[in-house]
Amino acid sequence: MANSKNIPTVEIGVRAFVFGGSCSNLQATEAVLNRATDLGFTANEIIFTGDMIAYCGQPAETAHLIRQAGVHAIMGNCEESIAFELDDCGCGFADGSACDALSQQWFNHCLNVIDADTRLWMQQLPRFLDIELGDFTLRCIHGTPEAINEFIFPSDIAAGRYTPRNEDGIDGYICGHSGIPFAAEVSNKVWINSGSAGMPANDGTSRVWYALFESAQIKLKVSIESLDYDHEVAASIMRKRGLDNGYADCLSSGIWPSHDVLPAEERQITGIPILPSTFTFKKKIATVQDPQLA
Ligand SMILES: [Fe+2]
């Protein structure tokens, strides 16, 4: 099924498990998918928001795992770049920047190990996906509706530097790409980023992130959750495969090796652990944050 904009639409039911940014981290991806299974989610209730491949050591294995899981997956800029054999990861990093140098390393690694069949599958992933979750319709995107590689951080929404497009027929957006989990409401639209399931959130912990969605009539409950996994194995595999760089260290330290893309507000809270939190949104009504869990 597709809507008037030819965006595919799927009926999820009343709850969903959302993750993204697996970043070639097989151990973390396995842990997150196991968590979804333990919580009783079926493949039709699981959403992946892109960037299954990136910094870590097992891109082919991670892509295979997500493909075999049969979850609803959309294209991230990393899939786009590898699938279409573009010049770089597509994040738009400045030439010569730390991010540019670090991304080139994993990008070349992915080019060598992702096979033609996987690239073809990645080419066919939708860039947008609408999910019907009870009374809510949420549009899954990677960066923003405007650009697959646009970074939106919590402070961008809070400070009004970015306002989501006020599109008709949807209650908000589920996005990925930026790697920091958060939920917000602006202009009567929800904006939810489940964080990265394969890379820490620059908060000084090795945890990775996912989100649980549950709708009940006019209410949508979103829980941003974290997970511990065997990050030492993931880092060891990176080093064995020639990716002995700051991202291998980051898997344990929880601190990103480059803060080039971060706004000042997020740079200032580097190393401060992010707490899991639960938000309740009312359909086109103001957001209420649960004070006990925030
Ligand atoms: Fe991305």
CA of 7 to the centre of ligand 1 (A): 20
**Domain-embedded: residue 4:** no
* Distance between Cα 256 and ligand 1 center (Å): 15
Q: Considering only CA atoms, which of 240, 268, 85, 102 is closest in space to residue 180?
A: 268
Q: Assess contact for 183 and 203: CB atoms under 8 A.
A: no
Angle at 264 between CA 262 and CA 266, to 5 degrees: 60
Residue 293 has a pLDDT of 42
Q: Is residue 212 part of a domain?
A: yes
In whole angstroms, give the CA distance from residue 208 to residue 181: 10
- Ligand 1 centroid to Cα of residue 196, in Å, is 10
pLDDT in tens, 115-134: 999 999 999 999 999 999 99
Domain count, the chain: 1
Q: What is the pLDDT of residue 167?
A: 86
Please provide the average confidence, as pLDDT, over all residues in the chain: 92
Distance 130 CA to ligand 1 centre (A): 19
Distance between Cα 151 and ligand 1 center (Å)? 8
Examine residue 89 and state whether it is found in any structural domain, yes or no. Answer: yes
Q: Does any domain span residue 87?
A: yes
Q: pLDDT confidence of 43, banded at 50, 70, 90? A: very high
Residue 30 domain flag: yes
Cα(145) to centroid(ligand 1), Å: 13
Report CA(140)–ligand 1 centroid distance (Å): 13
> Hey, which residues does 236 pair with through a beta bridge?
none
* Ligand 1: centre distance to CA 192 (Å): 15
Name the residue with tokens 């590689």.
149
Residue 20 CB: number of other CB atoms within 10 A? 33
* Residue scoring higher pLDDT (175 or 164): 175
How far does the centroid of ligand 1 lie from the alpha carbon of residue 218, in Å?
31
- Asked whether residue 252 is domain-assigned, the answer is yes
Three-class DSSP category at 33: helix
| 276 C-alpha to ligand 1 centroid (Å) | 22
Q: Is residue 294 part of a domain?
A: no
pLDDT at 89: 65
Digit-coded pLDDT (tens) for 85-113: 887 766 666 777 766 777 788 888 998 99
Q: pLDDT digit string (tens) for 262-277?
A: 999 999 999 999 999 9
Domain contains 120? yes
| Amino acid 285: pLDDT | 46
Average the pLDDT over 145-174 and give the result.
94
Q: What is the pLDDT of residues 231-248, one digit of tens each?
A: 999 999 999 999 999 999
Residue range(s) defining the domain that contains residue 247: 9-289
Q: What is the pLDDT of residue 85?
A: 84
From the number of C-beta atoms within 10 Å of its C-beta (0-12, 13-18, 19+), residue 45 rates as buried
pLDDT digits (tens, 9 = 90+) for 251-262: 999 999 999 899
Q: What is the pTM of this model?
A: 0.93
CATH number of 258's domain: 3.60.21.10
Quickly list H helices, 140-258: 154-158, 231-240, 246-253
**Tokens describing residue 238:** 């990176």
Alpha carbon 203 to chain centroid distance? 16
